Amino acid sequence: MKNLESEASSAPEKSSGEVDERSNFIRDIIIQDIKAGKHGGRVQTRFPPEPNGYLHIGHAKAICLDFGLAAEFGGQCNLRFDDTNPSREESEYVDAIMADVQWLGFKWDGLFYASDYFGQLYEWAVQLITAGKAYVSDLSAEEMREYRGTLTEPGREDPHRNRSVEENLELFERMRRGEFPDGSRTLRAKINMASPNLSLRDPVMYRILHMEHHRTGNQWCIYPLYDYAHGQSDSIERVTHSLCTLEFDNNRALYNWFIEQLGIFPSQQYEFDRLSLTYTVMSKRKLLKLVQEELVKGWDDPRMPTLSGMRRRGYTPEAIRNFCASLGVSKTNGITQLQQLEYYLREDLNKHALRVMAVLKPLRVVIDNYPDDLVEEMEAINNPEDASAGTRKVLFSKVLYIEQEDFREDPPKQFYRLAPGREVRLRYAYLITCQSVVKDAEGNIVELHCTYDPATRGGNTPDGRKVKSTIHWVSAAHAVDAEVRLYDTLFTKEDPSENGEDFIDNLNPNSLEVLTGCKVELSLRDAAPATRYQFERLGYFCVDPESAPGHPVFNRTIGLRDTWAKIEQRAKR
Count, residues near ligand ATP per rule CB under 6 A: 15
**Do 77 and 70 touch, CB atoms closer than 8 A?**
yes
| Least distance from Mg ion to the Cβ atom of residue 64, Å | 19
Q: Which of residues 52-71 bind ligand ATP (CB under 6 A)?
A: 58-59, 61-62
- Chosen from Mg ion, ligand ATP, none, partner binding at 380 (C-beta under 5 to 8 Å by type): none
| Least distance from Mg ion to the Cβ atom of residue 267, Å | 19
Q: Which of 283, 397, 492, 497 binds ligand ATP (CB under 6 A)?
A: 283
Q: What is the largest CA-CA distance in the chain?
A: 102
| Least distance from Mg ion to the Cβ atom of residue 521, Å | 46
- Dist. CA 527–CA 517, nearest whole Å: 17
Question: Is the Cβ of residue 50 or residue 483 nearer to Mg ion in the bound state?
Answer: 50
- Dist. CA 376–CA 6, nearest whole Å: 28
| Least distance from Mg ion to the Cβ atom of residue 246, Å | 14
Question: Is the Cβ of residue 56 or residue 311 nearer to ligand ATP in the bound state?
Answer: 56
Q: Is position 50 an interface residue for ligand ATP (rule: CB under 6 A)?
A: yes
Q: Is position 241 an interface residue for ligand ATP (rule: CB under 6 A)?
A: no
Q: Burial letters for 215-240: b for 16+ Cβ neighbours within 10 Å, e otherwise? A: bbeeebbbbbbbbbbbbbbbbbbebb
Q: Is position 330 an interface residue for ligand ATP (rule: CB under 6 A)?
A: no
Question: Is the Cβ of residue 82 or residue 423 nearer to ligand ATP in the bound state?
Answer: 82
Q: Which residues are catalytic?
A: 50, 274, 284
**Do 484 and 533 touch, CB atoms closer than 8 A?**
no
For every residue of 363-432, DSSP letters joined together read EEEEETTS-TT--EEEEEES-TT-GGG-EEEEEE-SEEEEEGGGB-SSPPTT--SB-BT-EEEETTS-EE
Residue 572, amino acid: K
Contacting residues toward Mg ion, per CB under 5 A: 50
Q: Is position 245 an interface residue for ligand ATP (rule: CB under 6 A)?
A: yes
Q: 565 exposed, middle or buried (CB, 10 Å; 0-12, 13-18, 19+)?
A: middle
| Least distance from ligand ATP to the Cβ atom of residue 97, Å | 8
- Chosen from Mg ion, ligand ATP, none, partner binding at 275 (C-beta under 5 to 8 Å by type): ligand ATP
- Dist. CA 21–CA 326, nearest whole Å: 6
Q: Which stretch binds ligand ATP (CB under 6 A): 256-264, 280-288, 363-371, 464-472?
A: 280-288
- Chosen from Mg ion, ligand ATP, none, partner binding at 176 (C-beta under 5 to 8 Å by type): none
What residues does 134 pair with on adjacent strands? 189
- Chosen from Mg ion, ligand ATP, none, partner binding at 397 (C-beta under 5 to 8 Å by type): none
- Dist. CA 52–CA 64, nearest whole Å: 20
- Chosen from ligand ATP, Mg ion, none, partner binding at 560 (C-beta under 5 to 8 Å by type): none
| Least distance from ligand ATP to the Cβ atom of residue 288, Å | 9
Phi–psi pair at 423, nearest 5 degrees: -105, 135
Residue 510, amino acid: N
Q: Is position 282 an interface residue for ligand ATP (rule: CB under 6 A)?
A: yes
Phi–psi pair at 415, nearest 5 degrees: -95, 110
Q: Is position 288 an interface residue for ligand ATP (rule: CB under 6 A)?
A: no
Q: Report CA-CA distances (Å) from 220 to 122, 314, 522.
A: 10, 42, 59
Question: Is the Cβ of residue 195 or residue 276 nearer to ligand ATP in the bound state?
Answer: 276
Q: Is position 49 an interface residue for ligand ATP (rule: CB under 6 A)?
A: yes
What contacts 24+ positions apart, CB below 8 Å, involve 33-40? 33/240, 33/241, 34/73, 38/240, 39/240
Phi–psi pair at 253, nearest 5 degrees: -60, -40
Q: Burial letters for 505-543: b for 16+ Cβ neighbours within 10 Å, e otherwise? A: ebbbeebbeeeeebbbbbbbbebeeebbbbbbbbbbbbb
**Do 433 and 422 touch, CB atoms closer than 8 A?**
yes
Q: Which stretch binds ligand ATP (CB under 6 A): 168-176, 278-286, 488-496, 516-524?
A: 278-286
Q: Which of 42, 274, 352, 525 binds ligand ATP (CB under 6 A)?
A: 274
Question: Is the Cβ of residue 62 or residue 356 nearer to ligand ATP in the bound state?
Answer: 62
Q: Which of 1, 24, 48, 345 binds ligand ATP (CB under 6 A)?
A: 48
3-state SS, residue 549? coil
- Chosen from ligand ATP, Mg ion, none, partner binding at 207 (C-beta under 5 to 8 Å by type): none
Radius of gyration over alpha carbons of the chain, in Å? 31
Q: Which of residues 511-530 bind ligand ATP (CB under 6 A)?
A: none
Q: Report CA-CA distances (Å) from 129 to 39, 124, 219, 441.
A: 30, 9, 22, 87
Rounded (5°) CA angle 437-438-442: 120
Q: Which of 284, 303, 313, 519 binds ligand ATP (CB under 6 A)?
A: 284
Q: Which stretch binds ligand ATP (CB under 6 A): 47-55, 117-125, 454-462, 518-526?
A: 47-55
- Chosen from ligand ATP, Mg ion, none, partner binding at 317 (C-beta under 5 to 8 Å by type): none
| Least distance from ligand ATP to the Cβ atom of residue 120, Å | 21
- Indicate the residue whose CB is closest to Mg ion: 50
Question: Is the Cβ of residue 241 or residue 284 nearer to Mg ion in the bound state?
Answer: 284
Cα-Cα-Cα-Cα dihedral sign, residues 119, 120, 125, 127: positive
Contact mark string toward ligand ATP, 103..122, x via CB under 6 A: --------------------
Q: Which stretch binds ligand ATP (CB under 6 A): 127-135, 140-148, 274-282, 522-530?
A: 274-282
- Chosen from ligand ATP, Mg ion, none, partner binding at 48 (C-beta under 5 to 8 Å by type): ligand ATP
User: Which positions lie near ligand ATP, rule CB under 6 A?
Assistant: 48-50, 58-59, 61-62, 82, 244-245, 274-275, 282-284
